[in-house]
Copies of this chain bind each other. A is one copy, B any other.
Amino acid sequence: MLARLFARTVDVHAHCDLPCGVYDPAQARIEAESVKAIIAKVADSDDPDFRTRAVLIKEQRSELVKHHLWVLWTDYFKPPHFEKYPQLHTLFNEATKLAGASGTKGTMDADAADQLLAKIAEISEIFWETKKA
C-alpha cells in the first residue's frame, strides 16, 4: 500500500509517441479497475439493458488496458530492461491476453479482473524499479 502511495505520485502515462517521456502503469491499472467495477455492478443488477451497456463498456475498457500495456512494452521498455528482466515479455503477453477475449472481454467473472490486476501489479513493480535505477 505504501509502495502505491509513492508510486502514484510521479510520472504518468500519456501515449504521445512524440516521445513525451511520460509513462505510468497506473493508466492500465485504472482501466482494469474500471473493468472490475463494471463486473461488480453487473452482479448486482438484473436489468438486461444495463447488462448490454456493461458488456459494451467492459469491451471498450478492456481494449484500453491492452493498448496501455502495449504502449509501455514498446515505447517505454528498452533492450537493457528486457535483458535485466527476462520475464518481462511473457508478463506483458499474459497481461494483454487477460484483457482480451479469453480474459475480461469474454467474461463477467470477477476473477478475470483480479488476475489482470495482479499481472499489471507485477509489471508496475518492474516499471518502478527501472525508474529508480
Residue of B nearest to A66 (CB): B74
Which among A24, A37, A41, A50 has the greatest number of chain B C-beta atoms within 10 A? A37
| Contacting residues, chain B, for A24 (C-beta < 8 A) | 7-8, 30
Main secondary structure of the interface of A (DSSP, over half): helix
Number of copies: 6
Tier of interface size on chain A: 35 or more
Distance between A111 CB and nearest chain B CB, rounded to angstroms: 15
Distance between A39 CB and nearest chain B CB, rounded to angstroms: 11
Extra pairs beyond A12-B29, A22-B33 (6, CB < 8 Å):
A6-B6, A20-B37, A21-B37, A55-B56, A70-B74, A89-B89
